[in-house]
Amino acid sequence: MSVRRGMRCRKCGAPAVINMPQHKLALCEEHYLEWVPARVGQTIKRFRMFRPEDKVLVAVSGGKDSLALWDILHRLGYAVEGLYIDLGIGGGYSAQSKEKVQAFAETRGGLPFRVVDVRETYGCSIPELAQRSRRGAKTCSLCGLVKRHIMNRIAYEGGFAAIATGHNLDDEAAVLMQNTLHWQAGYLGRQAPVLPSTHPHLARKVKPLCLMYEREMAAYSLVRGINYIYDECPYSVGAKTIFYKELLNQLEGRSPGAKLHFYLSFLKAKEEGTIRFMEEEEVQMQNCRRCGQPTTAGDLCAFCRLWERPEMAVCGPAEEFEA
């Protein structure tokens, strides 16, 4: 019988908990817990996401990526505050994810975070909003619109330098693949680890996990004992993103590092100008008369227009607008 020594940590020789062929690196628990924040810290500096003295808002959903991001930024010593948006999604999804966020903050000595309850604040939960929407707007796109609005509002009111989200490399590579297959030039032009602020009411958006494999983030959460919500949002089941992630994983199996290379070479080609996308035309931006966020169509932004429609009357009046 052959004796296999098994895979060992490159730093100390203890049994490895994770093997990362994409980095030709295997690590034990202890060294993995050091390696992850170091790599995220380098990513923050490499893309000049924010400075050590900046106040950063972390959007947390209760999932593995956003909770791990919050944990890592806190460990790196950044001044972070969590933002949980209660979407009011049923089947226990919103209730459970909120519990995970609260428990996480508590077990770490009471990390600061805010909760914005969509229903309490605006009168309607996301599913109710989708139900009442006349044109049968997709729940996920409405949800995206509402979340963006709230994140921008909280970042503006709280004086945050940036909003950090938990998008990982697999998320970014899947979106990149999808946009490339459809030659979505507009989206490709904008996809980046940092989205600068173009208006005082629009926050800077950063993705500190953009070079971390999704597998690496799940492993970090497990080893670190982060209790995250494992179930998917019921509305995202069967999302197209999963299909692209599976395709990319097949590629990764043939050629370790393929996902990272795909994303990084895209960023490099844009930076060096070997691929270029047309500059977006300078569109005339107006300030929304209700919320102050910029809009290109009329005097109300897309978010405020949502609540203006007659069928939404049952939802109002929203407290945000009373001031």
Partner 1 sequence: MVKLILRDKTWELPAGMTVRDAIKKAGLDPHAVLAMRDGKLINEETLTRPGDVITLISVISGG
Binding site for Zn ion (CB under 5 A): 9, 11-12, 14, 28, 31, 288, 290-291, 301, 304
CB of 289 to Zn ion, least distance (A): 8
- Tally Cβ neighbours within 10 Å of residue 223: 17
> Which of partner 1, Zn ion, none lies near 201, with the C-beta cut-off 5 to 8 A by kind?
none
Nearest to 193 by CA among 27, 44, 39, 82: 44
Q: Does 249 bind partner 1 (CB under 8 A)?
A: yes
> With respect to partner 1, which residue has the nearer C-beta, 250 or 284?
250
- Tally Cβ neighbours within 10 Å of residue 76: 15
> Which of Zn ion, partner 1, none lies near 242, with the C-beta cut-off 5 to 8 A by kind?
partner 1
Backbone φ/ψ region at 48: left (φ over 0), alpha (ψ -120 to 50), beta: left
Binding segment (CB under 8 A) for partner 1, from list 16-24, 33-41, 42-50, 268-276: 16-24
**How many CA atoms lie less than 13 Å away from 103 in the CB half-sphere?**
13
Number of residues that bind partner 1 (CB under 8 A): 38
Q: Does 16 bind partner 1 (CB under 8 A)?
A: yes
By CB under 8 A, what part of segment 35-64 binds partner 1?
63-64
> With respect to Zn ion, which residue has the nearer C-beta, 120 or 308?
308
Q: Does 242 bind partner 1 (CB under 8 A)?
A: yes
By CB under 8 A, what part of segment 196-215 binds partner 1?
214-215
Q: Does 29 bind partner 1 (CB under 8 A)?
A: yes
Question: Counting beta carbons within 10 angstroms of the beta carbon of residue 203, is it exposed (0 to 12), middle (13 to 18) or buried (19 or more)?
Answer: buried
Query: Is 318:304 a contact under the CB 8 Å cutoff?
Result: no
Query: Is 201:152 a contact under the CB 8 Å cutoff?
Result: yes
Q: How far apart are CA 82 and CA 67, in angstroms?
A: 9
> Which of partner 1, Zn ion, none lies near 273, with the C-beta cut-off 5 to 8 A by kind?
none
Q: Does 171 bind partner 1 (CB under 8 A)?
A: yes
Query: Is 163:254 a contact under the CB 8 Å cutoff?
Result: no
Binding segment (CB under 8 A) for partner 1, from list 112-120, 126-134, 226-234, 267-275: 226-234
| Chosen residue from 186, 253, 298, 316 binding partner 1 by CB under 8 A | 253
> With respect to partner 1, which residue has the nearer C-beta, 149 or 259?
259
> Which of Zn ion, partner 1, none lies near 254, with the C-beta cut-off 5 to 8 A by kind?
none
Angstrom CA distances, 307 to 85, 218, 235, stand at 18, 38, 22
Nearest to 155 by CA among 193, 199, 215, 107: 199
CB of 63 to Zn ion, least distance (A): 28
Binding segment (CB under 8 A) for partner 1, from list 34-42, 112-120, 195-203, 238-246: 238-246
* Beta strand extents in 149-204 (DSSP E only): 162-164, 194-195
Q: Does 236 bind partner 1 (CB under 8 A)?
A: yes
- Residue 52: its H or E element: none
Q: How far apart are CA 83 and CA 162, in angstroms?
A: 12
Site for partner 1, rule CB under 8 A:
4, 6-7, 15-19, 26, 29, 63-65, 167, 170-171, 214-215, 217-219, 222-223, 230, 232-233, 236-239, 241-242, 245-246, 249-250, 252-253
